[in-house]
Structure 1
């Protein structure tokens, strides 16, 4: 199963406080462990919400709101995408993670939808389209990296 592992933002991360050299070193070692174990598919840190935007959908209307956003505890400061055997395995990996923030922090783990989760509505044609999109995205990611 794939899971999205989200590092929740803090007041410091929202104010642009950068990680220490020690934390970057510890996270680098942790990420290497994840890769060696075949768990990590992707992972990145995110800029503060002050550099972001939200788009609200209401019928056909779209409303853009520029950051920053006030509810820090609801924001994400970084993420990983992991391939694990179970939610229990993901939890065990997160428990081994260095504390990603200077003070208290929180990491949320959520399963990623897979094609079979959508049932009959995900027709063979839609599956083929999804496969094409994923292949093109992977190819594009290879050009960027």
Structure 2
């Protein structure tokens, strides 16, 4: 009878091991097929290939280094984007809002958005309205999407259509 108990223990041990392995494999597969930064990388490459370094870009903070540092994904071996600014700074930093932009949305050339940034621009009003006005006078040039666990990553690049001076 002891060999029967031992056999049962071995069987239960193998069943537990198989359950753990199959669970781990499922979790590992979910992580390997999700590439949330792919949308960001594609957007940076599009900027590098289609946007002049003299353009004024409104961006989210995670693009800043890649567009401001030599060798960054957005610049490669080319020149940096000195006028790529984080949207919060564009809205609330007087040096940018009143100085560089002269409180004129028409001075913005591109807006690179994600859902959170779009929500901030559309819902906050006030100082964000300069970016919202530029967004209302823009066209979508390209959109990149990726999946990050339960969250959908959606990067959109808008080009502002400038109004002629009156």
TM-score (ref. length: structure 2): 0.22
Task: Considering Cα pairs closer than 8 Å and 6+ residues apart, tell me whether 1 or 2 has the greater RCO.
Answer: 1
Higher helix proportion (structure 1 or 2):
2
TM-score (ref. length: structure 1): 0.24
